[in-house]
A and B are shown apart, each in its own frame.
Chain A
Amino acid sequence: AQSVTQLGSHVSVSEGALVLLRCNYSSSVPPYLFWYVQYPNQGLQLLLKYTTGATLVKGINGFEAEFKKSETSFHLTKPSAHMSDAAEYFCAVSDRGANSKLTFGKGITLSVRP
Chain B
Amino acid sequence: GAVVSQHPSWVICKSGTSVKIECRSLDFQATTMFWYRQFPKQSLMLMATSNEGSKATYEQGVEKDKFLINHASLTLSTLTVTSAHPEDSSFYICSASGQGTSGYNEQFFGPGTRLTVL
Q: Give the size of the chain A interface in residues (CB under 8 angstroms).
A: 21
Binds B, one of A20-28, A58-66, A79-87, A98-106: A98-106
- In chain B, residues 82-118, which have Cβ atoms closer than 8 Å to a Cβ of chain A? 91, 93, 95, 97, 100, 102-107, 109-112, 114
C-beta contact mask, B66-81 vs A, less than 8 Å → 1, else 0?
A: 0000000000000000
Q: A38-77, CB under 8 A of B: which get 1 and which 0?
A: 0001111110010100000000000000000000000000
> Contacts A43-B112, A101-B34; is A49 near B43 (CB within 8 Å)?
no
- CB of B42 closer than 8 Å to a CB of A: yes
Task: Assess the A43–B93 pair: CB atoms within 8 A.
Answer: yes
Contact residues, B31-70 vs A (CB, 8 A) = 31-32, 34, 42-46, 49, 51
B6 to A, closest residue via Cβ: A43
A98 to B105, CA, bound (A): 5
Please give the distance in Å from B61's CB to the nearest CB on chain A: 14
CB B23 to nearest CB in A, in angstroms, measures 10
Residues of the B chain whose Cβ atoms lie less than 8 Å from the Cβ of A44: 44, 93, 95, 109
CB distance from B52 to the nearest CB of A (A): 11
Quick one: CB contact mask for B7-48 with A, threshold 8 Å, 1 for yes? 000000000000000000000000110100000001111100
Write the residues of chain A forming the contact surface with B, with a CB cutoff of 8 angstroms. 32, 36, 41-46, 49, 51, 90, 96, 98-99, 101-107
Supply 12 further A-B pairs (C-beta < 8 A) apart from A43-B110, A102-B34: A43-B4, A43-B93, A49-B106, A51-B104, A99-B49, A101-B34, A101-B46, A102-B44, A102-B107, A104-B43, A106-B43, A107-B42
A-B residue pairs in contact (CB < 8 Å), sample of 20: A41-B91, A41-B114, A43-B4, A43-B93, A43-B110, A45-B109, A46-B106, A90-B43, A90-B44, A98-B100, A98-B104, A98-B105, A99-B31, A101-B34, A102-B44, A103-B46, A104-B43, A104-B44, A104-B45, A105-B43
